[in-house]
Structure 1
Amino acid sequence: MTLKTTLIDVKELAALAPADVLIVDCRFDLMAPGSGERDVGKGERDYREGHIPGAVYASLDSDLSDLSRKSLGLGRHPLPLDTAFSESLSRWGWREGMQIVCYDAANGSLAAARLWWLLRLSGIRDVAVLDGGFQAWVAAGLPVESGDVVREPRPASVYFDAEQYLVDHATLRNDAQRVLIDARAAARYRGEVEPIDPVGGHVPGALNRPFSENLREDGRFKPADELRAEFQALLGAHAPSDVVHMCGSGVTACHNLLAMEHAGLTGSRLYAPSWSGWVSDASRPVAKGAEPG
């Protein structure tokens, strides 16, 4: 079996033997996240009503983030500690060398891209996002099951390679060589609207590439060569390794990072606190409108 490292389609996933793959349902509704164990969010309710057979559930708030760290200026969805992420992997029954497939709804695979990137951060590369998400699976007439899936836990211990994959506040502000790409919608980037964070606008010098531009009308990613041409036009003479991605809270930025990797433009990094982390310090500059050029 050739392991997939960026995207996988529904036919390829359906052909995998259940013992060879860990499937993770990452559906999450930012407007209906739930407030605790008894009040689960819409994404988890959707999972229990119907999911890809064998899939476990990952919550953006509790598995892919650590909301207790928001007071540290790390944004609305701070990264979990690697110890906590190891516990999630153990609970899901992950073992080294198995294919991981994460999926979301067909709205851009946002939380799935976040899990894909967290696994990359952990040194795990045999992970792919299901192209088109859960809707593509259903549209193909493939089976679904309801309820919770509990897998046999396995010991897991991973470590985040922050130096290779992450950029902190100071580096973002002082690195003159970096190219910063903001994945938010254009109106939020320009500061015309800001429905979530206390300040509108963008980091001075940031370029805007809304994550939605990575997708076709059917919710699947554009072909790799098309993505490559679009990102290269944005980067100009800069190498992919000069790129730093951001968004509102470090989630949709992973979608742009995934798109670049799928296009063969490897080596970009993430500013995980993103806009919500940047504006947590009033001394940091804010720009509005479109960047010149």
Structure 2
Amino acid sequence: MNRSPDWTTLVSPSDLAARLGDPLLVVLDARFSLADPAAGEAAWRGGHVPGAHYVHLDRDLSGAHLPGGGRHPWPGAADFGRMLAARGITPAHQVVAYDAADGAFAARAWCLLRLAGHARVAVLDGGFEAWSAQGLPVDRDVSEAQRAAPYPVAYDRSRLYDGARVEMHLAGGGLLLDARGGERFRGEVEPIDARAGHVPGAVSRPYASNIADGRFKSRAALAEEFADLLGPRAPADVVAMCGSGVTACHHLLAMAHAGLDGAGLYTGSWSGWIEDPARPVATGDR
């Protein structure tokens, strides 16, 4: 019997639908609302991709706060391994994560798994909105997953940055991409964090720039756009950030999909940066 293909960045609704029932497939529903943290799980209970298990941004895709960790701290390896085990995930599984539409929260699950050493993980392109629009099956079964053995998480720490390492990265000519909206980057508004502005030396690229008509842009389009930003730099010379280390993962996914895998993540991001009042803050376009 031929082995099903591996999905490592994005998967279409039709391709995922064709593989439902595969015992080595686990689907994760990562829908979430910062304005109403209970809304995502309520939406999952109301209907989801058949077999999907819910993962909550605060409880399952974030960890305990440490100094500089920001609003959504990166979870510890043991805690994240236990969460994966509770969803029945082993290193042999193909994992697909989705959220409501644009992939902002699903990309966080993708990034966590990828940097934990799990290659066979992808995001459903277009999310639950695209799935529903195609009339694909929806389930309301909320049975718990069959628990697996603890997952042996080993994060690639070379790609995880704290504030001090970001400062060194910038001093060495590295590129820091800020995935927040342009108005937040410029410091014109700040609806969430205590201070407005951006890390001096960062470059604005809102994560929504990766999307067109509700789906990720083509590999070729993303490759061209990121190449313009990178210039002579390699993907490993790029670090992505946002408000709390969530939507920045969208850039890592988009780059990987474009064949530019290897960028780093500032896990604390803006909310972690401003925990230290001595750190400089810039406003405007630069």
Bucket of the pairwise TM-score, normalised by the shorter protein: over 0.9
Partner Cα distance (2:42, 2:71) in 1:
23
**Distance of 2:203 and 2:46 partners within structure 1:** 40
Kindly state the Cα deviation for residue 72 of structure 1 after the two structures are TM-superposed. Answer: 2.0
Contact 1:20 1:98 in 2 (8 A): yes
- What is the CA distance between 1:255 and its match in structure 2? 0.3
Structure 1 equivalent of residue 30 of structure 2: 26
**1:15 partnered with 2:18:** yes
C-alpha contact (below 8 Å) 1:183/1:246 kept by paired residues = yes
Q: Which runs of 5+ in 1 are unaligned?
A: 34-40
What CA RMSD, in Å, does the superposition of the two structures yield over aligned residues? Answer: 1.1
Aligned partner of 1:43 in structure 2 is: 40
Residue in structure 1 matched with residue 69 of structure 2 by the alignment: 74
1:248 aligns to 2:243 (yes or no): yes
Quote the offset at 1:97 in angstroms. Answer: 1.8
Residue type matched to 1:89 in 2?
L
Could you tell me the TM-score, scaled by structure 2's length? 0.95
CA–CA distance in structure 2, aligned partners of residues 12 and 252 of structure 1: 25
Q: What is the DSSP-based 3-state SS (H/G/I as helix, E as strand, rest coil) of the residue aligned with 1:101?
A: strand
How far off is 1:160 after superposition?
3.6
Q: Determine if the alignment matches structure 1 residue 62 to structure 2 residue 65.
A: no
Check conservation: 1:55, 1:149, Cα contact below 8 A: no
Residue 105 of structure 2: which of 84, 105, 111 is its match? 111
Task: Map 1:91-110 to 2 at 5 A.
Answer: 91-106=86-101, 108-110=102-104
Aligned to 1:194: 190
One-letter amino acid of the counterpart of residue 198, structure 1: A
The CA deviation at 1:243 is: 0.1
Matched, 1:184 2:180: yes
CA contact (8 A) 2:68 2:162 kept: no
Alignment pair present for 1:88 and 2:83: yes
Counterpart for residue 36 of structure 1: none
- Deviation for aligned residue 1:17: 4.3
Identity of aligned residues (%): 49
Instruction: Measure the CA separation in 2 of the matches of 1:110 and 1:214.
Output: 11
Do the aligned residues in 1 keep the contact of 2:249 with 2:265 (CA within 8 Å)?
yes
Shift of residue 95, structure 1, vs aligned partner: 2.1
Question: 1:236-258: per-residue Cα shift (whole Å, max 9, x none)?
Answer: 11111100000000000000110
Q: Report the counterpart of residue 220 of structure 1 in structure 2.
A: 215
SS of residue in 2 equivalent to 1:110: coil
Q: Is the 8 A contact 2:51 2:141 kept in 1?
A: no
Equivalent pairs counted in the alignment come to 280
Q: Distance in 2 between matches of 1:56 and 1:119?
A: 15
Q: 1:149 Cα shift?
A: 3.0
Structure-2 separation of matches of 1:160 and 1:286: 33
Deviation string for 1:169-220 (max 9, x for gaps)?
2111122231000000000000010011111000011000000010012x11
1:6 matched residue in structure 2: 9
